Amino acid sequence: MSKTITGFSKLNKEAKINWLIQNFFEYAETAKETLKLYWNSDEELQNLHDEFIENTISNYYLPYGIAPNFVINGKDYVIPMAVEESSVVAAASLVAKFWSARGGFKANVISTKKIGQVHFMYKGDFDKLKDYFENIKSTLFKSTEEITKNMRKRGGGILDIELRDKTSELENYYQLHATFETKDSMGANFINSCLETIASTFENDEIQIVMSILSNYVPECLVRAEVSCKVSNLGESDSKLFASKFEQAVKIANVEPHRAVTHNKGIMNGIDAVVIATGNDFRAVEAGAHAYASRSGKYKSLTNCEVKDGIFKFWIEIPLALGTVGGLTSLHPLSKLSLQMLQNPTAEELMQIVAVAGLAQNFAALRALTTTGIQKGHMKMHLSNIVKQLGATDEERNYLLNYFSDKQVSHSAVVDEFERLRK
């Protein structure tokens, strides 16, 4: 029998859950209990979360941690991170401390231009289209005046609208390529509203609008973050060898896409965690970052390293379309708190902080990979999780952590030793 349903969205939360568990769960009561376990007892707060999306039946938590000791452009920060992966926050904290003793991170925003496009089809003569565009261009701006009024007051707005001929790539395909400055907001709604208004003003009998939408590829909304110190100050037993292997690791990620993807994934561990904690759109950031990593036609590292004249320099350049006002940033109490923790940054400052979190994460990963390997740290965490699952007492836990400090950790080895201990 079909399990499709009409009018599901109209049901209240309880009825939605009942329908779900009756149709898709064997152990209905357990499922219901789990869902309700994650409801917030503060009804107002729960309602707020319910309304973020549609058909909400519970909340899905991510741990919210903080990485202290970041120094960025001479200013102290504690960085909030929402992430489920162990070691990410620990790595950020360690690296923050390490670089705070070596001048901290330097960051600067290179550009803040965002992009949106009206995609359309046109079968006529290009010169005629060009004339039409030139004649209507000022009207296109005028048509958005109501939408752009507040943004213009804040120093933002539509920067330019360009007509682009894309017919060499797709028959009859043209676009209006618009650039925007959205100041402290991420600007997605603003850009999309402007584009839809522009499109309806631009449309005529010969122009068929296909769609109007912002682009998450923002190579001109770019930030750079950097660390540097004397090679001899890198704190390794053989700092010269370390610097050289580290540099090679980055070079490998620049020539080998399989490695580059993992290398950049590690960067995104840091980036996404801060992006989520501050209520920004991590899918947009991810999509844009990976497109930027491929801008040469080959997928490459987002970071770079140079060891020259005894100086180790490591930096990241990444497009980040972020907001510190609007969207979830002011709606979600924890996003608001994250921004307060970061001393209420402007969008440009947040870009710098997020880029630093990515660079720090990559530094931690490459330092571990080129020295001890990452499994040592991961296995420590793995061991601690197994011990927790086994329900070990504090005494048993201390014993097991000590016992495995110089041995290979595997689930079965820990279980065996635990059972032996209990016997």
Check if the beta carbon of residue 104 is closer than 8 Å to that of residue 75.
no
Closest by Cα among 292, 307, 297 to 366: 307
Our finding on whether 263 is near ligand MEV (CB under 6 A) is yes
Q: What is the chain's length?
A: 423
Do 22 and 28 touch, CB atoms closer than 8 A?
yes
Give the count of beta carbons closer than 10 Å to the beta carbon of residue 355.
31
Asked if residue 269 binds ligand MEV (CB under 6 A), the reply is yes
**Binding positions for ligand MEV, 351-410, rule CB under 6 A:** 365, 369, 374
Segment interacting with ligand MEV (CB under 6 A) among 6-14, 29-37, 75-83, 259-267: 259-267
Which one of 13, 49, 85, 240 is the catalytic residue? 85
Q: Pattern of binders to ligand MEV over 84-123, x per CB under 6 A?
A: -x--------------------------------------
List the one residue from 47, 232, 262, 343 that touches ligand MEV (CB under 6 A).
262
Of the listed 265, 290, 332, 382, which one is catalytic? 265
For position 166 contacting ligand MEV by CB under 6 A, the verdict is no
Q: Which is nearer to ligand MEV, 97 or 259 (CB)?
A: 259
Rg of the Cα atoms in the chain: 26
Alpha-helix residue ranges (DSSP H) falling in 229-332: 239-255, 257-277, 282-293
Q: Which residues contact 42 (CB under 8 A, 6 or more apart)?
A: none
Answer for which of 156, 266, 279, 327 binds ligand MEV (CB under 6 A) is: 266
Does position 290 interact with ligand MEV (CB under 6 A)? The reply is no
Which CB, 269 or 335, lies closer to ligand MEV? 269
- Helix runs in 101-144, H state only: 126-143
Instruction: Report the distance separating Cα 205 and Cα 226, nearest Å.
Output: 52
CA distance 333 to 350: 18
Decide whether 188 or 365 has the Cβ nearer to ligand MEV: 365
Q: How many residues bind ligand MEV (CB under 6 A)?
A: 9
Residue 28 CB, nearest approach to ligand MEV (Å):
36
CB nearer to ligand MEV: pick between 13 and 265: 265
Of 58 and 269, the one with the shorter C-beta distance to ligand MEV is 269
Out of 265, 313, 332, 382, name the contact with ligand MEV by CB under 6 A. 265
Give the residue nearest to ligand MEV (CB). 266
- Is residue 238 annotated as part of the catalytic site, yes or no? no
User: In sequence order, which residues have a C-beta less than 8 Å from that of residue 28 and are 6 or more positions away?
Assistant: 21, 22
How far apart CA 26 and CA 31 sit, in angstroms, is 9
376 catalytic per annotation: no
- What are the CA-CA distances from residue 423 to residues 242, 300, 410 (Å)? 46, 54, 20
Among the listed residues 247, 281, 348, 349, the single catalytic one is 281
187 binding ligand MEV? (CB under 6 A) = no
Helix (H), strand (E) at residue 43: helix 43-52
Nearest Cα residue to 160 out of 143, 141, 142, 179: 179
**Shortest distance, position 318 Cβ to ligand MEV, whole Å:** 15
In this structure, how many other beta carbons lie within 10 angstroms of the beta carbon of residue 15?
11
Residue 13, SS3? helix
How far is residue 290's CA from residue 231's CA, in Å, rounded to a whole number?
A: 30
List the catalytic residue out of 113, 290, 378, 382: 378
Of 114 and 263, CB closest to ligand MEV: 263
Beta carbon nearer to ligand MEV, 240 or 265: 265
- CB of 123: closest distance to ligand MEV in angstroms? 49
CB of 278 to ligand MEV, least distance (A): 21
Residue 407: partners with Cβ closer than 8 Å, 6 or more residues away? 413
Active site residues: 85, 265, 281, 378
Give the interface with ligand MEV as residue ranges (CB under 6 A): 85, 262-263, 265-266, 269, 365, 369, 374
